[in-house]
Amino acid sequence: MKFFVDTADIDMIRDLDAKGMVDGVTTNPSIIAKSGRDFIEVIKEICDIVDGPVSAEVTATEAEGMIVEGKKLAEIAPNVAIKVPLTWDGLTACRALTRDGHMVNVTLCFSANQALLAAKAGATFVSPFVGRIDDMAYDGMDLIAEIKQIYDNYPALETEILVASVRTINHVRQAALIGADVATVPPQVLQSLAKHPLTDAGLEAFLADWQKTGQSI
Ligand code: E4P
């Protein structure tokens, strides 16, 4: 499973990239607003660090406007994936932009039927938001399993399942078990994946025993 990092924090992206954990990056208008930085500048900086797809989201709500914005975003770097919402206008824009050879990430997906439409429209990625579904007291991972089953039923559908709105390490584990193509993970969750109390305790014991030997390497 590929890891995308769900952030516009440049230092964090650099740090995780140095560990080989960054196959791509996702942003959205809320993430850009939180960064307090210029949208185009920040996407350009991320694209300079990361070779994989970097999602940048359009803010127009009509297909024509989305296509214009999408083309502008695609000019930033060849690895920009244009993010459009899962609306009829978004699907129209997706079709036009993918036909023009651009990567498109269809976002704000909350049902299997929506994911089917995204794939029919030729999306490169579909982003189902598992955390926000959990917030409504349903199980977001059930949706991932359904989409995986549907896409597997029809091998001609080439859209990748990009698990989004990831909030916990369990979301990551479940996404990998189901066989999702990508999980976009907030940096803090990604860092937590390496943590285990038995690793810490084991290391502490090894180091204490090593000190008793009086040796050094
Ligand atoms: C990524 O593409 C999404 O925009 C992001 O994962 C949304 O996460 P949130 O539901 O925590 O805002």
What integer pLDDT is reported at residue 95 of this predicted model? 98
Give the mutation target among 129, 135, 162, 167 for probing the ligand 1 site: most ligand atoms within 8 A of CB.
129
| Both structure tokens of 144 | 């991932």
CATH number at residue 10: 3.20.20.70
pTM higher than 0.80: yes
How does pLDDT run along the chain (217 residues), one tens digit per residue? 999 999 999 999 999 999 999 999 999 999 999 999 999 999 999 999 999 999 999 999 999 999 999 999 999 999 999 999 999 999 999 999 999 999 999 999 999 999 999 999 999 999 999 999 999 999 999 999 999 999 999 999 999 999 999 999 999 999 999 999 999 999 999 999 999 999 999 999 999 999 999 999 9
Q: Which amino acid is at 31?
A: I
Backbone angles phi, psi at 128, to 5 degrees: -80, 135
Q: What pLDDT digit, counting tens, does each position of 105-143 carry?
A: 999 999 999 999 999 999 999 999 999 999 999 999 999
Cα 73 to ligand 1 centre (Å): 19
Cα 120 to ligand 1 centre (Å): 23
- The answer to whether the complex's ipTM is over 0.85 is yes
Whether the CB of 26 sits within 6 Å of ligand 1: yes
Distance CA 76, CA 41 (A): 9
Whether the CB of 6 sits within 6 Å of ligand 1: yes
Give the mutation target among 28, 82, 108, 136 for probing the ligand 1 site: most ligand atoms within 8 A of CB.
28
Distance CA 166, CA 184 (A): 7
Distance CA 39, CA 214 (A): 55
Ligand 1 atom closest to Cα of 28?
A: 4
Cα 26 to ligand 1 centre (Å): 8
Q: Kindly report the protein residue whose alpha carbon is nearest to atom 5 of ligand 1.
A: 165
The pLDDT > 90 percentage for the chain reads 100
What integer pLDDT is reported at residue 189 of this predicted model? 98
User: Which residues does 186 contact at the CB level (< 8 Å), separation at least 6?
Assistant: 5, 6, 7, 166, 167
Task: Identify whether 83 is a catalytic site residue.
Answer: yes
Query: Which one from 19, 72, 83, 148 is the annotated catalytic residue?
Result: 83
Distance CA 29, CA 31 (A): 6
What integer pLDDT is reported at residue 152 of this predicted model? 98
What angle do the packed helices 169-178 and 140-153 form, to 10 degrees? 20
Cα 48 to ligand 1 centre (Å): 22
Whether the CB of 132 sits within 6 Å of ligand 1: yes
Residue 12 structural domain: 2-213
Whether the CB of 165 sits within 6 Å of ligand 1: yes
What integer pLDDT is reported at residue 126 of this predicted model? 99
What total of structural domains would you count in the chain? Answer: 1
